[in-house]
Amino acid sequence: MALKGNLRDFTVTQLLNLVNLASKTGTLVIEGPNETAEVFFRDGKLAYAMIGQENSSLASILHQGKKLTVSQYRSIQQRAGHVTDKELGLLLINAGYLSQEDILVSLQTNFLEVVRQLFTWVEGFFRFENDQAPPDDRINVRLDLENLIIEGSRQLREWEQLQDEIPSLEMALKFTDRPGVDLKNVNLSVEEWRVISYINPKNKISQIAKATKMDDLEIRRIVYGLIQAGLVEITRPEGAPPALAKDMFPTQDTTEQKSLVNRLINRIGNI
Amino acid sequence: MQTVKMVVTGPFASGKTKFIGSVSEIDVVATERKISGAGEKEIKDATTVAMDFGRITVDEDLVLYLFGTPGQKRFDFMWEILSEGMLGFIVMIDSSRPETFREARSILQTFRAYAPTPYVVAANKQDVEDAWEIEDMRNALRLDPMVKLLPCVATDLKSVKSVLLELLYSILTEMETGGE
């Protein structure tokens, strides 16, 4: 079934969040007004990214990243001809021009730049092609998405959208218990750390805002980023009224209440 | 005569009126008005402006009322009124219209803030080709794994019954555990 839609309704950050939470493998294709981007993921990690008609070969990326001089780049283009990225990488490492780390860092930087470019796209259609892998000859990386998501979320400034995302500040926050998420590996700002330090189901978001001297917009923006990155989730504050209030049932007797619910179950089951 | 109520909420055109209509023993008392907005008119002709109202008589002493909220945000003043004293609520979402998921998240958060009652989320129109998969919807809606997200077709009685029963089971569990 479809995982497709419009960037007006789903931001790139939210799409990364989906891929991250579901540990998806496949390709996110985004058709913008002028060009198309393809971002590849493996088990919820960024593996490869390319945009439009830009030359995304390893030689070009290394040249852009100033790891290859113009003459080296030209020479590779002339001599290497049909050498794949993987073969070229090995050649460069074996010849002592570059280390494996140089190559991986250059690729990571390039792919991150592609995704950052996508953060500015507000128009376009997206679809996720399950299990579609990047081209065989390309070198893949394995980048966690949390930092990118936090970075993308920081760009959301629209009051109306933030209010939609977090309509009530009278709710609390708790840390998610997703395996593999380590706060230490996430690049948080000072403001985000200040909010993090107050996260506890006992504290309402409004109380955290007061303690950290943030206005409604600021606290919503930070909480939104933390939620998007899958670090925290909204919960009812501890000490809030119980889930089943007195006025929900016509009787206060708990045995009668249970009997009433069971009668409802029987009736609906028999419709 | 004892009465209890449940609320069916969700974004515009998510299938709330149809859901109630599928199971109600009376014709749904709907407060629909012709739609004037061009964008919304493309989706359907009329929309609920105050509430929908359906009824299921359990026995001679007990009646269940189903209230459907208006989906359009400009009628959200009705939400709090309708949520008062409810036993639980159902959030209906059109699985094939991801453009409504943000609003659905907002409605869900708003209702959770109004009343801490049990709730389930119904992923409606799962029979439509463009419907999102349940697990993708769970992530897009940022639902806790403990929250019941149920595939649903609002025009299918069996499917509607299943959603209502799951909500009742959640209420029963809540009563037994006391919200632990």
Domain boundaries, chain B: 2-177
Residue A190: CATH number of its domain = 1.10.10
A203 and A224 together in one domain = yes
Task: Return the residue in B43, B168, B180 with the most chain A beta carbons within 10 A, the one to mutate for interface testing.
Answer: B168
A191 and A98 together in one domain = no
- Could you tell me if A35 and A117 are in contact, meaning their C-beta atoms sit under 8 angstroms apart? no
A72 and A103 together in one domain = yes
Mean pLDDT of chain B: 85
The overall longest dimension of chain B from CA atoms, in Å, is 49
Residue A91 has pLDDT above 80, yes or no: yes
The DSSP code sequence of A35-69 is: -EEEEEEETTEEEEEEETT---SHHHHHHHTTSS-
Q: Which amino acid is at B92?
A: M
CATH topology of domain B2-177: Rossmann fold (3.40.50)
Q: Which amino acid is at A101?
A: E
Who wins on pLDDT, A120 or A158?
A120
Mean pLDDT of chain A: 88
Contacts of B106 in chain A (CB under 8 A): 163-165, 167
- Could you tell me if A3 and B136 are in contact, meaning their C-beta atoms sit under 8 angstroms apart? yes
pLDDT given for residue B116 in this prediction: 80
Range of the domain at A139: 4-143
pTM: 0.79
Which B residues in the span 24-53 are in contact with A, Cβ-Cβ below 8 Å?
Answer: none
The DSSP code sequence of B163-174 is: HHHHHHHHHHHH
Lowest mean pLDDT among A8-17, A230-239, B13-22: A230-239
Q: In terms of Cα–Cα distance, which of A270, A191, A177 is closest to A224?
A: A191
pLDDT given for residue A139 in this prediction: 93
| CA A58/CA B10 separation, integer angstroms | 48
Has the ipTM of the complex gone over 0.90? no
At A83, the pLDDT band (50, 70, 90 cuts) reads confident
A138 and A213 together in one domain = no
CB contact under 8 A, B106 and A233: no
Q: In terms of Cα–Cα distance, which of B8, B11, B30 is closest to B19?
A: B8
At A81, the pLDDT band (50, 70, 90 cuts) reads low
Residue A129 structure tokens:
């092609």
pLDDT given for residue B41 in this prediction: 59
CA angle A124, A61, A80 (to 5 degrees): 125
A39 and A169 together in one domain = no
A90 and A34 together in one domain = yes
| CA B11/CA B168 separation, integer angstroms | 22
β-bridge pairing B2-9 and B62-68? parallel
On whether residue A251 sits in a domain, the answer given is: no
Q: What is the pLDDT along chain B (180 residues), one digit of tens a residue?
A: 889 999 999 998 899 999 999 999 887 766 666 656 666 656 666 665 556 788 999 998 999 999 988 766 666 667 777 788 899 999 999 999 999 998 899 899 888 887 789 999 999 999 998 899 999 999 999 898 889 999 999 999 999 999 999 999 999 998 888 654
A118 and A10 together in one domain = yes
Q: Which of A122, A143, A164 is the last residue of a domain?
A: A143
Mean pLDDT, residues A73-77 = 81
Alpha-carbon radius of gyration of chain B: 15
CB contact under 8 A, B113 and A254: no
| CA B144/CA A177 separation, integer angstroms | 11
| CA B167/CA A242 separation, integer angstroms | 17
A130 and A169 together in one domain = no
- Could you tell me if A208 and A173 are in contact, meaning their C-beta atoms sit under 8 angstroms apart? yes
Mean pLDDT, residues A65-79 = 83
On whether residue A218 sits in a domain, the answer given is: yes
Tokens 């399950």 belong to residue: A130
Contacts of A257 in chain B (CB under 8 A): 175
Q: Which residue of A has its CA nearest to B118?
A: A243
At A181, the pLDDT band (50, 70, 90 cuts) reads low
Nearest-CA distance A229 → chain B (Å): 11
Lowest mean pLDDT among A67-76, A156-165, A213-222: A156-165
- Could you tell me if B17 and B48 are in contact, meaning their C-beta atoms sit under 8 angstroms apart? yes
pLDDT given for residue A54 in this prediction: 74
pLDDT given for residue A251 in this prediction: 83
Size (chain B), residues: 180
Alpha-helical segments (H) within B8-156: 16-23, 38-41, 77-83, 101-114, 134-140
pLDDT given for residue B166 in this prediction: 97
Contacts of A8 in chain B (CB under 8 A): 99
At A243, the pLDDT band (50, 70, 90 cuts) reads low
- Could you tell me if A145 and A44 are in contact, meaning their C-beta atoms sit under 8 angstroms apart? yes
Contacts of A1 in chain B (CB under 8 A): 129-133
Residue A65 has pLDDT above 60, yes or no: yes
Sign of CA dihedral B72, B77, B82, B86: positive
For residue A158, the tally of other CB atoms under 10 A from its CB is: 11
pLDDT given for residue A173 in this prediction: 94
Residue A41 has pLDDT above 90, yes or no: yes
pLDDT given for residue B144 in this prediction: 86
Residue A259 has pLDDT above 70, yes or no: yes
